[in-house]
Each structure stands twice: as C-alpha cells, then as structure tokens.
Amino acid sequence: MEGLPADVAPPMEGQSLPREFWTFDMVQERLVEAMITCWRHPDRERGWQRVHCAWPDILREVSAGDYDARGAEVASAEVEIRPASLTRIEVGEMEEAFAWTDMLALADRKLVGMAITELAKGQREVKWRRLLLRMGLQRGADGLRMRYGRAINAICIAKNGGNARG
C-alpha cells in the first residue's frame, strides 16, 4: 500500500488504517515544535488579559506615544519589536503534544522533556552522558537512550490506536 512505512504490514480485509500513522520521528519532531512554541509563549496571565481586554494595552500605547507608523512620534530604532503572538492552532498543537507525555511514568516524562529540550535548542543529537547527571544517575547513558526510545514509541503506539501500556 502506498504511504505506509516498509515495516508496517497492510491491513487485513475488513480492517482500516488509522487516519494518520505516527512514526517515531513524527512524534519527536512534534514534541520539539511544541517546546519551541512553549518558549515563544508570552506570560500566560498577560496574554489572557490581552485577549480578553485589549483596552488597557491601547491606552498604554496612546499615552506612550509610540505610534511611529501613524504619527512618526518615535524613531524606529527606539521602538521595541514585539514577537509575533501565537495562534490558537499553535497553542492547541503545543498543548496536545505535551498531553501525550501524560501517559508516561514521571521519570520517563522528565527524561523526554530534557531530551526534547536539547533537540529544540538545535542540537543534532542528545548528549545522553550529560543527561545522566541531571537525572541523578552515575552511569547508563545507553540505558537512558533506550528508555527515551521506549517512551516515544509508547506515544506512537497510543497515537496509532494501540494500547501503549498493554
């Protein structure tokens, strides 16, 4: 069948495939994107107030006189550039991806979080020996790597309709 990974058998007669088949790399990439989105997320309370009541922000801008595009009151070099705000879709995808880790044991959740953080920082691969100390362990870097792989695989199984705990 087209679109299936080579190691996946086509469905038997009467069976259907999940709408989207999640692979290890897809889950890992989505978690990395969620971490990057989380870093871009502004202060939650301030963001909530901005969404629900923009009037104080409007008043602040008027009193500050920072309408450079309309009145050229402030030189463009002095105007603080605000980061683009997150869309509802980005926030929803971030929260969905982080919710996937709820099925993992607490120690595995911590490990996945630390490994994903390393990848989100732009590292090509996780330095497992460095994570050993942060996990409070003295040895077993390869074991951490395998635990991480099993945790991401459990998320894949759950996303593909299986029972990850089973």
Rounded to whole angstroms, what are the CA distances from 115 to 30, 66, 105? 13, 42, 15
Residue 136's pLDDT band (boundaries 50, 70, 90)?
Answer: confident
Is pLDDT at 82 greater than 80 in this prediction? no
Is pLDDT at 104 greater than 70 in this prediction? yes
Asked if 131 and 139 count as a contact pair (C-beta separation under 8 A), the reply is no
CA angle (111, 35, 150) in 5-degree steps: 35
Asked if 159 and 153 count as a contact pair (C-beta separation under 8 A), the reply is no
CB atoms within 10 A of CB 122: 8
Q: Of 14-18, 70-74, 137-141, which gets the smallest average pLDDT?
A: 70-74
Q: Is 87 left (phi over 0), alpha (psi -120 to 50) or beta?
A: beta
Across the chain, mean pLDDT equals: 76
**Tokens, residue 77:** 């070099």
Average pLDDT over residues 105-133: 93
